[in-house]
Structure 1
Amino acid sequence: MLPAREPDIVSAANLIDRDRACLWHPYAPASPTLPLWAVEDASGVRLRLTDDGGARHEVVDAMSSWWSAIHGYRHPVLDEAAGRQLSRFSHVMFGGLTHEPAVVLAERLVAMAPADPSRASLARVFLADSGSVSVEVALKLAVQYQSARGRPRRQRILSIRGGYHGDTAGAMSVCDPVDGMHSAFAGLLPRQVFAPRPPAAATATAESIETWRDAVEDLARLHSDELAAIIVEPVVQGAGGMFVYPPECVRILREVADRHGLVLILDEIATGFGRTGELFAAWHAGVVPDILCVGKALTGGYLTLAAVLCSDEIARTVSAGGVGALLHGPTFMANPLACAVAKAS
């Protein structure tokens, strides 16, 4: 339990009224009656909230702030890391500069990443602002890679129905085309290719998996001259309803990608860092992707940060291409404060 403290009735109600007057919350209308609770304290797994009537509520945050606060709130190790970095510097641009938190974090991510002696390891790290941005980077990287290999027509992505990859435009385009946000932005989003949702793990049979394999293979073959990559959340589709599917399906996607020269992108923003019982969900399938996206729990929920890991082969090919660089550069890329906390996490 959090230590007892009298709620500040006036300030909580006033804060909520002021919020409703000028702020806009995610997936919600801009409304003067929007249900809101003011956070007074956060510690461990618990939040202390005060409503607009002054009543206090203490709850267990089972959602972990959208699956990011994996060590709980006000963790002393992460607090200390943030304070130590703040005493040095909180931010510098990453163009032409580097710093210890970014280098050590990248080294640790490379060492932790899924590996297979028979495949190129994930040896290069691009640090991004958020999970959605990491997906944008991964999609751009796949397209640039195909272009650098002399395949400029390969601009589309094969995705899986039921998936969720973020709310920015490129990321939205590979989310589920029915339950995602495609209908609201039909003229804005690029048209991608969608395979059926894999069979559910609880009811999957050898026959249903084989039927799904055939459907994915047929789509990849039909569109192979225009596809750059396959993107999927391995083993669990999180925002798609915690839909769990057989690891065998991830192995099938790896085989299809290899057969048709596609880049395999695994989106482990939600599943990474132990969420599925393995450090990365890819380990359930024994699959190493060409590109891996991680975020959310990366900083233990303290600050926004994500990372895109790719093989040296992809990095070398893009770097040797006509453009000579990955065309992305967030202002707050590799923010030292976020990297320092992620390193501690």
Structure 2
Amino acid sequence: MRYTVSTDMHDRLVELAELLRACREAFLRISHDHHWKPAETSLAAADLAAFNKVSDIRDDGIVLETVAAYLELAAGNCGGLAGLYETDEVLTSPPQLARSILEDCARACWLLGSNPASQPALDRLARTYIDHDLSAVDKKTTAQRLAGKTSPGYLAAKREFNELRAEIQAVFPSTVGTDFNRPAILNGQRCLGLTDTAKWFFALLHDNGAATVDSQAGEGIYIRLCNQTHPTISAIRERRRFIAHGEHFGTKLVVTQAEIETLTRLAVSCIYNTLAWVHQYCGWDFDPDHEFENRIDATTPGLFSSVD
């Protein structure tokens, strides 16, 4: 049997889906409008120039490319969440996508830093290297587990891993092997786990007047999303309702419109503020005609005024 919602709730889900697709379009417009080329006077352009002067850095666009990759994941998950809404498949999956959107946006902003203009370019590079190293380690380990150390996939992953480590140690000569132990520390930049990144992100938004939620409440939001993703009995029990069937009881799961509204507001806020942060870093005008902001305000009234 298919899970069904009321006609009114379905209509509202369609409205929210359209807003989530607008979030994805706002990301895609960067390629159309700017081709991911920073403005000449921007901090991002200054970073590119600084990295270009360091011969050991193989890709001077590594920071911006990594930020764009995380944003692309978040935007894609907005599209996925929209697809669930349009088909009324909102019983268990939306929190998982909302969590991913939060994680991707938080990590993109963490790479840039809480006050990019006052931080050296090499700090952003170090944080980016941390994430690339984590990825390289995981890729190598996965290839070994799945296909063995003699497989082409493992050998390629090992080569990429060794090349990255050599680059990092050339750019930051004081780096030693133990610096890569978790949590990794490169050039004084300490890797944050997923929960700490979420807390950092909520603190960033709160300190900049973009959210009323501080890091402590943000941690609670993130843990709740995790509990709705992992096997956590309380999360499913909260949605279970008992139905009398004569001599026995049946059960059904329910989701409220308020839940969906909250998840959507969280996802939209994450995307909007991360896009604004990236535009500022790259020196681009963000939503100059307020079309995106007006669309958000019309669909989710009070999202901006609540933090004014």
The alignment's TM-score, normalised by the length of structure 2, stands at 0.27
Point out the structure with the larger helix share. Answer: 2
Point out the structure with the larger strand share. Answer: 1
